[in-house]
Structure 1
Amino acid sequence: MTFVQLIDCRTSRFDEMNRLVDTWLEQTGGRRSATHSLIGKDRSDASHFIEIVEFPSYEEAMRTSNLPETDRIFHDMIALCDEMPVFTDLVVVRDEQLYVANVRRYFDVVAARGELPPLDGLLAENYHGHDPANEQDTIGMDAMRREIREWRAGFDFAFTVEDQIAEGDKVCTRWSWKGRHTGEFLGIPPTGREVTTTGTTVFRCGADGKIVEGWWQYDRLGLMEQLGELDVLEV
């Protein structure tokens, strides 16, 4: 279970403290188990800082804490503080990455059976889509809805999210897609074939969580081959 440690401290020597953190990162490289470190400064008190350090588990945090470099840095850090830091140990009981949740919901919604639901809560009105298979970028929510309807008219399909990685305002999703060709698609009459493809999409989200830009990469050539279109070209 993910473990988070909060270090609440006051210091007028933050630059030195910052260099100390860099030293710890350098000296413990390859042996520490911390996965994420964040330092915030109190807007109403320039000497008040909170560091948040994330670990895979409490046990991993203790292993890192017992490194000799960690012990040395700890004592150096106390010397830079105006008063004794306060440590709070937290076991994470809920972790919602809201951009990730919105992107995952997008893949579910576009594949849902029946009429395409409104996408207002998922896509920004000025959505900008990049797909190398298209001659032009997809600009605007209405254009994206038309593109989604083309796929839905041609296939009964579903996405499976294989992996998701989030950093800042971007969410990268590795997905697989499986569908049955039940309607005309790009001028290809329905074949009834079951087809699959895989791809990766990087979405950029706005401050409100809505998707404002997307970069799509997927095996469109393989999809066309499964639909029998490459056989036609070879003949």
Structure 2
Amino acid sequence: MNATRTIVLLSIVGLLVCGAPALGQSPEDLMAVRGAFADALNAHDLDAVVSFLADDFVFDWVGMPTLIVGPAQFRASLEGQYMHSPDWHTDEGRVFATDNVVVVEHAAMGTQTGPLAELPDLEPQGNPWAWYHVDIYEFEGDKIKRLTSYGDTAGVYMSMGVMPVPEMPDFVPSIAVPAHEPTGLSPLEANAEHVRRWNSHDAASMAKIYHADCTVFAGPLGMELDRVAMTAMNEVFFSAFPDVELEIVRTIDLGNGWVLTELLWQATHQGTFFGIPPMGYATENRGVWLVHYTADGLVREGAFYYDNLTLMTQMTTPEWPLDGIWVSTVPTPLGNLVMTTTYVAQDAARTMYSGSLEEINAMPLLAEIYPDADPTPKWAGGHAVKVGRHQYEATYLGYSVKIVDSEIGRTTEFVGLFTVKAYFQLTGPDQLSGHGTGSYYLAAQDANRDGFPDEGEEPVVCVPWEWTGRRLTTMPGCVPTPMP
């Protein structure tokens, strides 16, 4: 009964949070709103800028360590940009709209005459800069709900004179570039084939999918490459990262042969990359392709963007270790649940960890699901697997029990069990954040009493989990108070 009531309450909360669906806008309407938003940005009219944003707006500036959440934070970030470059403006490029999404390829430009928030002690250099990037606007009605920007921060710093310009290779391929060969595929099919060939690390096969007159804008380099230079560029990547793999995160058909693809890059730095010698560190980066395919399935023109600063940082710095004791806080409506987790590596490569957990205080939800159980559950432990740089996938298993007094003495009775499927990442050397779901089962759903939910059983309650954690490190002591 209590579990059923919890499910109903959670469903009602979900309806209240989600609310009624917003009315959709036509692609033309969305492009007009986005154009007015750009005008407000160029006018440095912050009141007008934030008026276009939904209350729960999120700015995902790829390459930055954290999301910018809410209109107020976005306004503050723009204030900083307008301060360091009072002539900040955008230079419009290609614009596409479909469903509730607008995609814009353009550049933000300016002259750095004021201090950078991230480098406040550095004297302004007074140099012009340009940030070439792709923006993906996601709308809810006529409000911008999410903005994702892919671009290279390192290039901006180099233009400003803050970072040195790396060694540039000659974009001359080591192979004879073969002629193009039509694929006969639709744009979406050709795009999937494009990614497949890239993941095969076959530069000649890649060259065949480039039209004879193909041009590709390399966002991180700020320059356009023809099919010969692109073949050489691919060889640079394959040589420096021989195990590189691209994973498609999202594909958007923009119409008229244009396709946008958000990608996740994972690779180990094993060869020289733009003058940076290999140190064998794992890298993970997010990028985007914006490509136009011909009617016979060839790349006619396009662009790619990713953050070189992220890549350069990962290539030259070791990863933070997960090993150790972590204190995590899980926010709940009745306050934070505090728990400790100790991670121990199970292999030399440090890709698999065991974790022992202990709750410091009780989670209120458990009293609803298991009203007869003791307040503090017993955790069997956790199992974490590394899935990317500083990123882990984990499963935790726990039990609710109660102490029963009987004629034969005090015994422990099994009441229920629960699992947490989690994904977390280290956001600093001593910080992490995670999210996942908690699945809660009744004792009867483990009929064979092997300590796991029986196959095919569905949880009576499934709730989201989010948490942040801090590593236990050396802490200062106190000064004893003299006794009277």
TM norm structure 2 = 0.26
Q: How does 1:62-211 map to 2 (within 5 A)?
A: 98-113=186-201, 115-119=202-206, 121-139=208-226, 141-155=227-241, 156-166=243-253, 167-211=255-299
1:228 aligns with 2:316: yes
The Cα of 1:179 is off from its aligned counterpart by: 0.4
| Separation (CA, whole Å) in 1 of partners of 2:316 and 2:208 | 37
1:142 aligned partner, one-letter code: V
Question: For 1:171, what is the secondary structure of its paired residue?
Answer: strand
Structure with the higher strand share, 1 or 2: 2
Q: Rg bigger for which structure?
A: 2
1:161 aligned partner, one-letter code: I
Closer, same or farther: CA 120–219 of 1 in aligned 2, 3 Å? closer
Contact 1:175 1:198 in 2 (8 A): yes
| Separation (CA, whole Å) in 2 of partners of 1:119 and 1:223 | 23
| Separation (CA, whole Å) in 2 of partners of 1:200 and 1:135 | 15
Deviations 1:167-214 (A, max 9, x none): 221000011000011111111111111101001111011121101111
2:228 aligned partner, one-letter code: D
* Aligned twin of 2:8: none
| Separation (CA, whole Å) in 2 of partners of 1:105 and 1:163 | 15
- Bigger mean CA deviation after superposition, 198-207 or 97-106: 97-106
Closer, same or farther: CA 135–219 of 1 in aligned 2, 3 Å? closer
Contact 1:111 1:152 in 2 (8 A): no
Q: Number of residue pairs matched? A: 135
Contact 2:190 2:293 in 1 (8 A): no
1:136 aligned partner, one-letter code: M
Q: Higher relative CO (CA 8 A, sep ≥ 6), structure 1 or 2?
A: 1
Question: For 2:279, what is the secondary structure of its paired residue?
Answer: coil
| Separation (CA, whole Å) in 1 of partners of 2:308 and 2:199 | 18
| Separation (CA, whole Å) in 2 of partners of 1:161 and 1:179 | 15
Question: For 1:137, what is the secondary structure of its paired residue?
Answer: strand
Contact 1:159 1:176 in 2 (8 A): yes
Indicate which of 293, 302, 321 corresponds to 1:214: 302
| Separation (CA, whole Å) in 2 of partners of 1:118 and 1:112 | 9
Question: For 1:150, what is the secondary structure of its paired residue?
Answer: helix
Sequence identity (%)? 21
1:110 aligned partner, one-letter code: W
1:206 aligned partner, one-letter code: T
The Cα of 1:136 is off from its aligned counterpart by: 2.5
Question: For 1:173, what is the secondary structure of its paired residue?
Answer: strand
Contact 2:262 2:289 in 1 (8 A): yes
The Cα of 1:157 is off from its aligned counterpart by: 0.1
TM norm structure 1 = 0.53
**Unpaired stretches in structure 1, ≥5 consecutive residues:** 1-28, 32-96, 230-235
| Separation (CA, whole Å) in 2 of partners of 1:108 and 1:209 | 14
**Unpaired stretches in structure 2, ≥5 consecutive residues:** 1-21, 25-184, 318-484
The Cα of 1:106 is off from its aligned counterpart by: 1.2
Contact 1:109 1:117 in 2 (8 A): no
